[in-house]
């Protein structure tokens, strides 16, 4: 009940910021209105994380976020493009694209794949406060649309997304990254290994598949893993070494990567001269109903890392 009360408080806060944004749009104070709108989207994301997924309030909050993304684009001139990307003869992939706002200047771009718990509108609503003003475009797609394909198809779909961005006059084709949230971190790893054009990847670096494989072998053989440490390290970092770009692994929180496994992988990659960084989200302890990860600081850290790596790619 305490968690529900906090969710209601944050929803009310988001509604208040929406009204403030509308008020300032009427006055023509668009910068203040933009700030208020972004605060509203953040408040709704906090509320969404506090309510259970099967709760009716969760759907209501998600609807507010989706409506807010569209209203934000229409009222404040930040053009959120709703796209249908053709991927072969019979497949079209729905996506949102937020251009950097500099049509005459080629800037970096990031393909963002939502977690299994989110759709593309929800992820874009969460990321808008982070990406506005960074000078990078984002293309946002849903985990469900990418993951629900036959083996190997997810990489092809994401390659078509990269093709779309590469063809845009406002995107530098040499500075396109991928960011996979939640289970999509594993999809981002497979894509970065498949397509050498990826300039940076926020992904799981193969930990998800490594953990599943190791667990399956242990279950089938009913033996402890006493393999040579060097062999284990080589297997653990095998997929990461196939990625020809800088890697950021987000461990802990709502992600699929455990902190202990990520630390082991980072040590292995350092020994193999693989450019891999580790980020651990701040967890807010003692929150109503359990711990909550601080997505605001986590998203900011991720995009600061992307900004740094894609800037270096421009200089290379």
pLDDT at 223: 47
pLDDT at 277: 95
- Enter the tokens of residue 124: 């874009």
pLDDT at 103: 67
pLDDT at 204: 94
pLDDT at 146: 94
Given CATH 1.10.10, say whether it is the number of domain 1-78: no
pLDDT at 56: 67
Q: Which part of the chain has CATH 1.20.58?
A: 1-78
pLDDT at 77: 60
Taking CA 98 as the corner, what is the angle to CA 96 and CA 101, rounded to the nearest 5 degrees?
160
pLDDT at 217: 47
pLDDT at 222: 47
On whether the CB atoms of residues 154 and 187 are closer than 8 A, the answer is: yes
Torsion sign over Cα 104, 106, 108, 109: positive
Helix, strand, or coil (residue 292):
strand
Helix, strand, or coil (residue 218):
helix
pLDDT at 31: 84
| Residue burial 175-199, b: 16+ Cβ < 10 Å; e: rest | bbbbbbbbbbbbbbbbbbbbbeebb
User: What is the Cα–Cα distance from 34 to 36, expressed in whole angstroms?
Assistant: 5
Given CATH 3.10.450.50, say whether it is the number of domain 80-315: no
Q: Which part of the chain has CATH 3.40.50.1820?
A: 80-315
pLDDT at 221: 46
User: What is the Cα–Cα distance from 129 to 62, expressed in whole angstroms?
Assistant: 16
Consecutive 10-residue averages of pLDDT for the chain (316 residues): 83 93 87 88 88 69 80 66 85 90 83 93 91 92 90 90 94 96 94 96 90 58 54 78 93 85 90 92 65 85 96 76
């Amino acid at each position: 009940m305490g968690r529900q009360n906090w969710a209601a408080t944050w929803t009310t806060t988001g509604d208040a910021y929406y009204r403030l944004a509308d008020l300032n749009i009427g006055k023509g104070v668009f910068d203040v209105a933009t700030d208020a709108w972004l605060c509203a989207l953040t408040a709704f994301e906090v509320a969404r994380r506090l309510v259970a997924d099967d709760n009716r309030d969760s759907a209501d909050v998600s609807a507010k976020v989706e409506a807010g993304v569209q209203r934000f684009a229409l009222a404040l001139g930040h053009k959120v493009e709703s796209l249908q990307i053709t991927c072969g003869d019979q497949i079209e992939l729905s996506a949102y694209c937020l251009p950097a706002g500099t049509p005459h200047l080629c800037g970096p771009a990031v393909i963002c794949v939502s977690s299994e718990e989110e759709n593309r509108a929800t992820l874009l609503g969460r990321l808008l406060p982070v990406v506005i003003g960074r000078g990078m475009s984002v293309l946002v797609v849903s985990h469900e649309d990418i993951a629900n394909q036959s083996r190997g198809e997810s990489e092809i779909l994401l390659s078509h997304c990269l093709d779309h961005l590469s063809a845009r006059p406002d995107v530098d084709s040499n500075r396109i990254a991928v960011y996979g949230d939640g289970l999509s971190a594993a999809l981002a790893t497979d894509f970065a290994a498949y397509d050498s054009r990826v300039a940076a990847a926020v992904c799981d670096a193969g930990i998800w598949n490594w953990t599943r494989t190791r667990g399956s072998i242990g279950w089938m053989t009913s033996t402890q893993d006493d393999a040579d440490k060097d062999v284990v390290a080589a297997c653990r970092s095998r997929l990461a070494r196939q990625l020809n770009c800088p890697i950021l692994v987000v461990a802990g929180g709502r992600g699929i990567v455990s902190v202990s496994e990520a630390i082991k992988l980072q040590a292995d990659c350092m020994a193999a001269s693989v450019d891999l960084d580790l980020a651990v989200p701040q967890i807010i302890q003692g929150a109503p109903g359990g711990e909550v990860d601080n997505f605001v600081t986590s998203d900011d850290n991720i995009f600061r890392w992307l900004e740094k790596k894609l800037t270096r790619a421009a200089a290379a």
